[in-house]
């Protein structure tokens, strides 16, 4: 049981550290330049994923 708690604690500390590192290194989000989270009916083509590379 002690090993499980140690492993879980180290995993959570690593994840928390990675999130903090990412937030510290990334720039601020420009919400006016960001793509919409949900673009239903916007007319924008899908992009950035393997499912967006379908043949025309």
pTM for this model (two decimals): 0.52
What are the tens digits of pLDDT across the range 11-40?
999 999 999 999 999 888 888 887 777 767
CB crowding 42-52: b at 16 or more within 10 Å, else e: eeeeeeeeeee
The mean pLDDT of the chain is: 81
Higher pLDDT, 6 or 41: 6
Q: What is the pLDDT of residues 43-54, one digit of tens each?
A: 666 666 666 566
In whole angstroms, what is the distance from residue 28 CA to residue 36 CA?
Answer: 17
């Amino acid at each position: 049981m002690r090993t499980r708690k140690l492993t879980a604690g180290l995993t959570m500390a690593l994840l928390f550290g990675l999130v903090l590192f990412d937030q510290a290194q990334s720039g601020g989000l420009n919400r006016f330049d960001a793509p919409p989270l949900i673009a239903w009916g916007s007319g924008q083509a899908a992009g950035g994923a393997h499912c967006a590379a379908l043949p025309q």
